[in-house]
Amino acid sequence: MTNKFRLLVYTTQQLSEPRVISKLWDLLSDSTVKAKRYDSQERAKLEFDISKAEHASQIYENDGLLFVKGEKDGFLGQFSQYRKGLSIWNIWLNLGAMQGRKQHKWLNWMCRLFNDLPALYCGGASLIEFNEKHAVVKEIPGGGRVSGTIGISTAEFYQYLPGLYWLNIFGSDLVNFFGEHKILNIEGVSSTLLKAGQVMFHLNDSVIPDDLS
């Protein structure tokens, strides 16, 4: 999985709402993603069709989880429902999707996603960068080790400011906190003002970091 790019999205959007699932289903049917399967488990078996948005919404409402697989660039979406009205969406792509000519196409698709379905926060990075920032390994007395992650749980999201990655989408609350003008004028990044007071910005450097120090 180290050759993957991951989007981690915190949002109040609920796929059980007809308006939300309809907009998402349209975006997933787009030629950029070309969704082909969906289900409540990662080994999705149900054939994707634009007319099946309501069925997918019912799966999400019943199980609190929905997976969608696309034909393009290894797309895998995991849409999870959490407490307090918060949902976490994970989207994985082949790392090559965020390099070269494909990068512009996928960034445009992400702009459309967040314009249609505004988020609280989103961070996007290669799994190399993501794991370097969140992976923790502890040595066990007597030998052995255990590994885990920090800084990505729902509880931590409510307590702390989110981290920064190669790609970031700040919702209106974060934009108001830091200041729109400051975010749009950060050196070394490309910034885009989105609807609902959001700002999307990413490093001008390669998505594969040369130095994580």
Q: Kindly report, residue by residue over 161-191, the tens digit of the pLDDT.
A: 556 889 999 999 999 999 999 999 999 999 9
**What pLDDT is stored for residue 31 in this prediction?**
97
| CA separation for the pair 46, 49 (Å, rounded) | 9
> Which percentage of the chain shows pLDDT scores above 90?
73
| Predicted local distance difference test score (pLDDT) of residue 149 | 45
* CB-based burial label for 78 (10 Å; 0-12, 13-18, 19+): middle
**HSE-up of 170 (CA within 13 Å, CB side)?**
25
Q: Quick one: tokens of 109? A: 């698709």
Whether residue 146 is predicted with pLDDT greater than 60 in this model: the reply is no
Tens of pLDDT, residue by residue over 102-123, are 999 999 999 999 999 999 999 9
Helices and strands (DSSP H and E) totals, the chain: 7, 12
Query: Is the predicted pLDDT of residue 50 greater than 80, yes or no?
Result: yes
Greater model confidence, 158 or 140: 140
With tokens 């990662």, the residue in question is 42
Owner of token pair 């990505």: 152
Q: Which residue has the higher pLDDT, 139 or 124?
A: 124
pLDDT of residue 81: 87
Percent residues over pLDDT 70 in the chain: 82
More confident residue, 75 or 206: 75
The band of 57, judged by pLDDT with boundaries at 50, 70 and 90, is very high
Whether residue 13 is predicted with pLDDT greater than 90 in this model: the reply is yes
pLDDT of residue 85: 83
Task: Work out the mean pLDDT of the chain and round it to a whole number.
Answer: 87
